[in-house]
Amino acid sequence: MTWSHVSRYLIRAEWAPLAGITLFSIVALSLIAPAFLTEYNLFVMLRILSVTSVFALAQMVVIAVGQMNLAVGAIGGLVAILFGGMMEVYGVPVPLAMLIGAAVGILTGWLNGAIIAYSGINGFVVTLAMLSVYTGLNYGITESIPFYNMPQVLLDTYDGKIGPVPNILVIPLVAAALVGLFLFRTRAGRYILATGGNPSAAALSGISIRRSVILAHTVSGALAGFAGMVAVARLGTAEPTIGVDWLLPSFAAPVIGGAILSGGRVSVIGTMVAVVLIVLLENGLLLARTDPYYVQFFLGVLILAAVMFNRWRAVSAEKVTAARENAS
Amino acid sequence: MTASALLVEKATKIFPGVKALANVDLELKSGEIHALLGENGAGKSTLIKIVTGVYRPDEGSVSVMGSSVDFSSPRDAFAAGIGVVHQERNLIPRYSVAENIMIEQLPTKWRLIDRGEMNRQAKHWLGALDLNIDPDVPVNRLSVAQMQLVEIARALSQQSRILLLDEPTASITENEIKVLFDLLRRLKGDGVAILFVSHKLEEVFELCDRVTILRDGRNACAGVPIEDLDKQRVVAHMVGREDALGDIGERHASIGKVMFELKGVSTAAGHQDIDLKVHKGEVVGLYGLVGAGRSELAKAVIGAERVTGGEVFVSGERATVRNVQDALRRWRIGYVSEDRKQEGLILLHSVAKNTAITVWHRLGKFLNLFSDRQERDAIISFVQKLDVRTPSLEQDVANLSGGNQQKVSVAKWLAAEAEILIVDEPTVGIDIRTKGYLHRLVWDLAEQGAAIVLITSDLAEMVLLADRVVVMRDFRIIGNLQNTYNYEQMSRRIMGCIHEADVVVGRADGAPALKGA
Ligand SMILES: Nc1ncnc2c1ncn2[C@@H]1O[C@H](COP(=O)(O)OP(=O)(O)OP(=O)(O)O)[C@@H](O)[C@H]1O
Ligand SMILES: [Mg+2]
């Protein structure tokens, strides 16, 4: 594989324009705002990214099967406070607490999936109800009071490095790689995509729709729970409010990244680039001293703009090729 | 000489990687039935879509009744008096038959939809096609054939002067085709200009006045009177060389033990007392008129519909097929669906992924991981065998022509390597040459030891391929005939069977249907 192969692949990739825009934003921001390229600011952004990327992947997996998971934030919040509570109140060691946290994420996701698959009720409705159930549990347990004393090893590990690479970068990279392998390179992942693409065709090809739906939600729950634990490490406290503001970006990233909401098509790289773009947007607005209350507004505008751009590109791609082939 | 009703000049349309049309001409006169022919992917549907405002031509012009037009949406074409039945079904699933037929011109009273009038008008157009269904039924309860007829009724209801029919006969049976043809001849008498696309040449010679043939997006000929052509010449135009139609060859049947058996099976779909035996190496045809319950039986066999009574045996072993997965992996039963768009394909996935879907469970060793290369290797020979025309294996199936989509939906089941294969209308929309390959392939599979159940509404195909023909009607089996390979004789016996059953079914005591010899 030569360099020209690689570059052609990069140019043709669906997420290429998105990556271009992201790069452009980075350059523009570093020219306009001197504070942008400081090590401190980059670390602030990476810390946010380490959480956002994981819950965006959690949503993406469910979008792949053709459904929505409105409970990603609720699962993240519940796992976060259980994780923090275990360590503070019972002194559970970090690795064990993480295992239990992961188990809770898996369990809640599985429960979502199982209810949807066995009841036949729409995933939107079920996860909306479960959003309330998990949030209610969260507030019931904590009475809205955070756990403040997180073990130092957790915080140190989070801010540590593997070789030269900071862990806050390792987390999103590894998560994305694993999800990519799972969705595109394993049977189970392919079954999920096929189910999202056309459930009746998938079923008549010998794929169990029920199993695909449950698995997608289970993986989503595991990722959401993991995002919750990363958020605890990032904040240094287990806040009951972790996850309340995840919903919008969790959809925004996959959709900007090229996912089709009716299912069957998602892009891991696209989603990750979109997460970077979203984090950049928030950071840029912050540096520009925009009222933080307006961040939502701009995020909404970004989603619309990106989705329209994708649409425009799909339509004009036809014309461009047409022109090129006419010329030849 | 009348002015042409529709004139297309030098139309060009390019899709990424494919030049679908290059400088194509087409002229349609009032009061003629004009055939548009070509192999799968030749550009027939693209031409129709250009004329009806679905696509805009990159170059070239379209004029209707002598004045040049530039449609930017299908509505414009409708307003200009062009009625169309597209190759793919375009019905709104939960809407009733009447709503679907009248959707462009809903009758209103006090600005509210007048349901009574709507149903009355819809019934009129259904009647014109001899179709006896309740206009209030939602269309997703209809069979594929009935849906096709509903779309034809919709096009008729628009009473347009130009009527474009893209493979209208692909999934309906002889009786319905006859009714349709009578109707088209009447319309022609009234001066309607009709464009007719079909892969069945017999129909074309029976019905059409002039012929335009496309090959690889170009005119192989334009507006040639049918008298100047014969079957060989048409095929030569389509394929681009003489003697293109290979012979299907000999059938070397070696029929073994019973591989698959139904004993007194009844299903939730409504089948009663179904007895059916299929031997190793045998091709059993399942024939019946629209609504006889053939596809539903197939679905019950593979576990997609509930079996409520009776016994199923596979290779002599009592089998309970719990679901489709079980059917494929444990009992090695496969089913090629008749409805490729809804049940066969994942349109937004690639050719490779669609074909490989039935083999993924065999790919991958470590952690079930597999690569694109492994996937490709597992399926490429099947894609080639069926001559799927696609720029690459990575092309989305949605972008293939209708016939090529059909080939993919068959290829995926060839790849599955099932021992018992039920093929439901496998050659719908497939061009003659590939149909020949596919016919040979069905025999090859049988000769390699598979048991095959062939469901087809094309009686000629049935008589050509089947060793035995089982006739169904109203969810029962009413006949079991050894094939004599004589079309006239077989068609008479099969129709006789169905007719006889009429009498039997009509009797009050509900005596079991006669079993033919
Ligand atoms: N939307 C699309 N995007 C890309 N390629 C397309 C698209 N639609 C059609 N094509 C390509 O254009 C060519 C002509 O397709 P078309 O559907 O007109 O063929 P056809 O003559 O109707 O064939 P069939 O007999 O199989 O229906 C094919 O090669 C097809 O793959
Ligand atoms: Mg076509």
- Do B311 and B346 belong together in one domain? no
pLDDT over 60 at B314, yes or no = yes
- Do B372 and B351 belong together in one domain? yes
- CA distance to B32, B181, B432, per residue, from B231 (Å): 20, 20, 11
Strand spans (E) along A72-145: none
Mean pLDDT of B346-368: 87
Beta-strand pair B317-318/B307-314: antiparallel
3-state SS, one letter per residue, for B282-348: CEEEEECCCCCCHHHHHHHHCCCCCEEEEEEEECCEECCCCCHHHHHHCCCEEEECCCHHHHHCCCC
- Do B32 and B73 belong together in one domain? yes
Q: What is the pLDDT of residue B506?
A: 41
- Do B34 and B52 belong together in one domain? yes
B465-485 pLDDT tens trace: 999 999 998 899 988 999 988
Q: How far is the CA of A281 from the centre of ligand 1 (A)?
A: 42
**Domain assignment present for B244:** no
- Do B295 and B351 belong together in one domain? no
Residue A254 Cα, gap to closest chain B Cα (Å): 17
Q: How far is the CA of B166 from the centre of ligand 2 (A)?
A: 7
Q: Which of B58, B358, B363 sits opposite A322 (nearest CB)?
A: B58
pLDDT over 80 at B512, yes or no = no
Q: What is the pLDDT of residue A322?
A: 44
**Domain assignment present for B107:** yes
Of B192, B111, B124, B133, nearest to B154 by C-alpha is B124
Least-confidence region, from A2-6, A97-101, B371-375, B404-408? A2-6
**Domain assignment present for B245:** no
pLDDT band at B514 (very low <50, low <70, confident <90, very high): very low
Identify the domain containing residue B360 by its residue range: 342-417
Enumerate residues 128 to 187 of chain A having a beta carbon within 8 A of any beta carbon in chain B. Answer: 181, 185-187
pLDDT over 50 at B515, yes or no = no
Q: How far is the CA of A327 from the centre of ligand 1 (A)?
A: 22
**Domain assignment present for B337:** no
**Domain assignment present for B515:** yes
- Does ipTM come in above 0.85? no
Q: Which residue has the higher pLDDT, A28 or A74?
A: A74
pLDDT over 90 at B420, yes or no = yes
Q: Would the CB of B18 count as within 6 Å of ligand 1? A: yes
Asked whether the beta carbons of A66 and A264 are under 8 A apart, the reply is: yes
The answer, for A328 touching chain B at a CB cutoff of 8 Å, is no
- Do B47 and B147 belong together in one domain? yes
Structure tokens at B202: 């017999």
A148-176 pLDDT tens trace: 989 999 999 999 988 889 999 999 999 99
CATH classification at residue B51: 3.40.50.300
Estimate to the nearest angstrom the gap between the alpha carbon of A3 and the chain centroid. 31
- Do B397 and B444 belong together in one domain? no
Average pLDDT of chain B, as a whole number: 88
**Domain assignment present for B85:** yes
End-to-end C-alpha distance for chain B, whole angstroms? 57
Q: Would the CB of B158 count as within 6 Å of ligand 1? A: no
Contacts 24+ apart (CB under 8 A), A81-84: A81/A138, A81/A141, A81/A142, A81/A146, A81/A147, A81/A238, A81/A239, A81/A240, A81/A242, A82/A141, A83/A228, A83/A229, A83/A232, A83/A238, A84/A146, A84/A147, A84/A150, A84/A232, A84/A237, A84/A238
**Domain assignment present for B496:** yes
pTM (global) more than 0.90: no
Q: What is the pLDDT of residue A8?
A: 67
Q: What is the pLDDT of residue B505?
A: 47
- Do B487 and B516 belong together in one domain? yes
The answer, for A190 touching chain B at a CB cutoff of 8 Å, is yes
Q: What is the pLDDT of residue A300?
A: 86
- Do B499 and B382 belong together in one domain? no
Q: Which residue has the higher pLDDT, A100 or B240?
A: A100
pLDDT band at A325 (very low <50, low <70, confident <90, very high): very low
Q: How many domains does chain B have?
A: 3
Of B389, B417, B445, which residue is a domain's last?
Answer: B417
